[in-house]
Structure 1
Amino acid sequence: MAEPVKRPSIKPFGKLIRATLTDHLDLRNGLSNWQFTAVSAALGLALAAGAVLAAGPWDSGQRKAELDWAAARARTGGAHHDPAAPDGPAPAPSAPAVLAALGTAADRSAPDAPDGAAAELRAVLGPLLKDPALGTRPSAVVIDTATGKRLYGKGADTPMTPASTVKIATTVAALTALGPDHRIPTTVRASADSRTVTLVGGGDPTLDRAALRSLAADTARALKDSGVHRIHLRYDASGYSGPALHPIGPNENIAPVSALMVNEGRLDDTTSGPAPRSGDPARAAADAFGELLGKAGITTGSGPASGRAAAKSRAVAKHLSAPLSGLVERALTNSDNDIAEALARQTALVAGRPADFNGGRQAVTAQLSKLKLPLKGANFADGSGLNRQDKVTAALLAGLLARTADPDHPELRPVLSGLPVAGFSGTLSGRYTTKSGGTGLIRAKTGTLTGVNTLSGTVVDAHGRLLAFAFLASGTTDPSAAQSALDSLATALAAGKR
């Protein structure tokens, strides 16, 4: 039986909502009616986010509400969490849709001609892109997702280091290859005589101790039914190949990439952000599993040994990860490097390529080529964006986001619902917190390396258009100033001209 989950209190969110509502009431005179409606929707989003935190993360009612809302507006339906799936975590019930206001009050005075829209954006974005905080030659692209037309471009086709915004490419490729309902298995296999048991990792970095305890309980039950109480324990992480250590070396932002790990190899109780990591996540997972087997009445003798399960072994226990849609959302909201690297390798596996950094690069490139987007100069050296050898163009990032909003690609919708919300969630929770007008109106993936700052996402502008944008800056010397400059660009898109 899984260990009970402690639910955090929702009370702190009441203060957040009241404070934010006060700020936006002060702003109402400076906002159009449509923008105020959208901000109100964003407040509903924040309240729902509090309810989600109390209920449990990722495969949440709020996430599904957003997917349902997007699906309702798409002629081909949306990405769902496979309600008919017989195994794995069950989808949560839908929360009330909080984004309905965004589809009902578009300003029909928007300039219809692309030339008019481009002129408007040149006037708005041109001066902001000259901010010296953006380093040398920043690039920018804005696309109207309804038409697929590029409304603005500067350095659009120049390959640049994207930092963590490359996760947009990684997640789109994984969803294209595997679909939103795919789940990653972790299995336990027993030899024919049940004397040797192997814990087999399938590549789920989110496997937690509760799931490991459930696997141990099921394994112990099967062994006892066979009259076995003492075993040899093995662990198998051979699903991934190549170097486990990321080129950046040992780092609190990512564990060694392994097909078998518990809680991303973290050595503390955190679930996101930097943390001390195990140097051998697979062995640490096997040690924890052996300990849990012992508590369940199965003796493992000496410590676990690395090795593959016997050819004639049988499965005695199995755990499935959250659906890929939930993993994608978590990877984007928290900029989770471990999940992103796992998604690149899962994409490689389904393509029959080696599950290593190079295989991931090839597989991601191949999947994105199916979307007919500009890949010239692109290099996906890793899935997370920690590698400075990653290169993408602003045109590619904005184009990817435009595809995720395309009714013909409902399987990509989790990318949109996973983007952090300005001033509210994930890596944007501490940004857009001033009275700038962007709070709640912008959803975007952030990217930060030394000298590199990027932002790519979506925004509904003052005319009711859903715009996809990508802003890439290199040669930056002040990260805080660069982030503020990027935030000003996105906020300008939200405000537009009236």
Structure 2
Amino acid sequence: MTRLTRRFILTGMLGGLAGQALAEAPMVSPRPKARPLRVATVSAAPAEDLIRAAGLGGRVGFVVADARTGLVLEASDADLPLPPASTAKIITSLYALDHLGPGHRFGTRLIATGPVSGGKVQGDLVLAGGGDPVLSTDDLGDLAAELRKAGVTGITGRFLVWGGALPYLEAIDRSQPEWLGYNPAVSGLNLNFNRVNFVWKRAGSGYEVGMDARDTRFAPQVYSARVTIADRSLPVYTYENGGKVEEWTVAKGALGKGGSRWLPVRRPDLYAGDVFQTLARAQGAPLPAPEAVGSLPAGTVIAQHGSSELRSILRGMMKYSTNMTAEAVGMAASVRSGVTSHVASGRAMSDWAKARAGVTTPRFADHSGLAGASRISAADMVRILVKLGPGGQLGGLMKEIRYKDKAGKPLSHVQVLAKTGTLNFVSALAGYVSAGGSDLAFAIFTGDIARRDAVPDSQKERPEGGKAWARRSRQMQQQLIERWAAVYGS
């Protein structure tokens, strides 16, 4: 661990960061000169003691710097690359904004390959995805209504679905258990974050089960995925991709009285087509079963849905940490540069960060942070926050984290806008702190990689000791932030 000394704090600059930051054109007014360290007027435990008391094992790297100048105020293992977990979405947001623009909208279209005559499309109807990561069942319901308004009551040809706007990814991280809803497929045609709702309830000595795609106004039954009950205790779930139908089994011993759970979808194009078929039928426009196509047929757009603006999508992604959204927007940004695979897209985002912020350690295996193989140092994350965050208005995308003191009262003198990140025995927090008129940028990365790698597959959803470990890490994060507010708040 780096020894925290007054000399280090006063002279510790992130190699050239302050110079780079000051070389940028001011966004509002010229940045002030770096302030000297202010001696704390309240008691604040040394950072090393806080880390030691947390008893996390593994490694802890952190940096806190003046958010305006980049002057490093305190650091420990600053240059050690560690898994960023979902704080990687900070980089993804900036990457997507830079390549797509804050006002970018994703479009989902209905394309007719022939004219409409007598209420019927004389040819095929294509549901063509545009990479929209937040397309919902309600959106498809509205699109079905638009189809009916266009006078369509049927088709003479096929009902096709196309998801080729983005490369297909069967699962974000193949090392994760099959049934985790936050690890779905990604394609150019996505629906409900590519999750299907599994519902069960007691019925006599057995259960009634079903799959639906419920939203606020519509809750159609799903036919492209189905579940059967198996008379066993473990494993809780099994999965098989049957081609046109995704087959799940669930252990009877795990069901209890009843409930529901979102399960991941591996064929999002067929899932979206399945749901749209039901919604179109309800509008008086029956369609045949959907068929996936690899290339987009030519035709005329007869109805379309546009997503909300990218900036709004990113705000929701940062708030709820939706992995599928991160993968879709990151991949969409890379496609603009001719990238054709998710692996190459992770590399492209890494190279972009290095070039734009002058950093060296980013190595992203994905855009969401779900893959444990991704790495970045706390020093480089802070460089990015200082150099790129203000221009990308990153603070407006981050959610406020409200801390309380030991008596349960809010810490009103400290405002934290940050992104959290959690994997098994990995915890991260990065963002901005405002206290007493001072604006700080920080990153705290903690990872016990050996312990994470040792977790058996059967415990990956809830590893033994994982909850307590994460709680201690969050406590340490708060203690560090309170320390910085006390020592560096002016």
SS at match of 2:145: helix
Q: Which residue of 1 aligns with 2:187?
A: 258
| Among 196, 199, 212, the residue aligned to 2:127 | 199
What percentage of aligned pairs have identical amino acids? 25
Larger Rg: 2
Equivalents in 2 of 1:327, 1:310: separation in Å?
26
| Among 196, 217, 239, the residue aligned to 2:165 | 239
Contact 2:44-2:483 at 8 Å conserved across structures: no
SS at match of 1:275: strand
Q: Which residue of 2 aligns with 1:176?
A: 98
1:326 aligns with 2:312: yes
| Among 56, 66, 77, the residue aligned to 1:155 | 77
Q: Which residue of 1 aligns with 2:458?
A: none
Equivalents in 1 of 2:405, 2:396: separation in Å?
18
SS at match of 2:401: coil
Offset at 1:484?
A: 0.9
Equivalents in 2 of 1:142, 1:366: separation in Å?
24
Equivalents in 1 of 2:279, 2:156: separation in Å?
14
Structure 1: which 5+ residue stretches go unaligned?
A: 1-72, 77-107
1:136 aligns with 2:65: no
Structure 2: which 5+ residue stretches go unaligned?
A: 1-25, 116-120, 198-213, 217-260, 452-464
Over the residues paired in the alignment, what is the CA RMSD in angstroms?
3.2
Offset at 1:387?
A: 0.5
1:112 aligns with 2:17: no
Offset at 1:264?
A: 0.8
Offset at 1:316?
A: 1.4
Code of the residue aligned with 1:205 in structure 2: it is P
Q: Which residue of 1 aligns with 2:482?
A: 491
Change in Cα spacing, 1:258 to 1:310, as seen in structure 2 (3 Å) is: closer
TM-score by length of 1: 0.68
Q: Which residue of 2 aligns with 1:386?
A: 370
Deviations 1:350-388 (A, max 9, x none): 11101x3213212212332342331x2321101111111
Contact 2:45-2:483 at 8 Å conserved across structures: no
1:460 aligns with 2:387: no
Code of the residue aligned with 2:398 in structure 1: it is L
SS at match of 1:130: helix
Q: Which residue of 2 aligns with 1:340?
A: 326
Contact 1:209-1:262 at 8 Å conserved across structures: yes
Equivalents in 1 of 2:76, 2:294: separation in Å?
52
User: After TM superposition, which residue ranges in structure 1, 4 or more long, deviate above 6 angstroms?
Assistant: 120-123, 430-433
Offset at 1:199?
A: 0.5
Change in Cα spacing, 1:440 to 1:199, as seen in structure 2 (3 Å) is: farther
Contact 2:127-2:160 at 8 Å conserved across structures: yes
Matches within 5 A, 1:201-216: 201-216=129-144
Q: Which residue of 2 aligns with 1:417?
A: 396
Q: Which residue of 2 aligns with 1:363?
A: 348
Equivalents in 1 of 2:161, 2:151: separation in Å?
17
Contact 2:86-2:420 at 8 Å conserved across structures: yes
Change in Cα spacing, 1:212 to 1:237, as seen in structure 2 (3 Å) is: same
Contact 1:111-1:117 at 8 Å conserved across structures: no
Q: Which residue of 1 aligns with 2:28?
A: 75
Offset at 1:405?
A: 4.4
Contact 1:422-1:431 at 8 Å conserved across structures: no
Q: Which residue of 1 aligns with 2:422?
A: 448
Equivalents in 2 of 1:117, 1:391: separation in Å?
34
Offset at 1:324?
A: 0.9
Equivalents in 2 of 1:139, 1:215: separation in Å?
48
SS at match of 2:160: strand
Change in Cα spacing, 1:310 to 1:245, as seen in structure 2 (3 Å) is: closer
1:396 aligns with 2:396: no
TM-score by length of 2: 0.69
Contact 1:191-1:309 at 8 Å conserved across structures: no
Contact 1:191-1:312 at 8 Å conserved across structures: yes
| Among 263, 267, 277, the residue aligned to 2:264 | 277
Offset at 1:181?
A: 0.8
Code of the residue aligned with 1:197 in structure 2: it is L
Deviations 1:290-318 (A, max 9, x none): 112222222213x1101156643111122
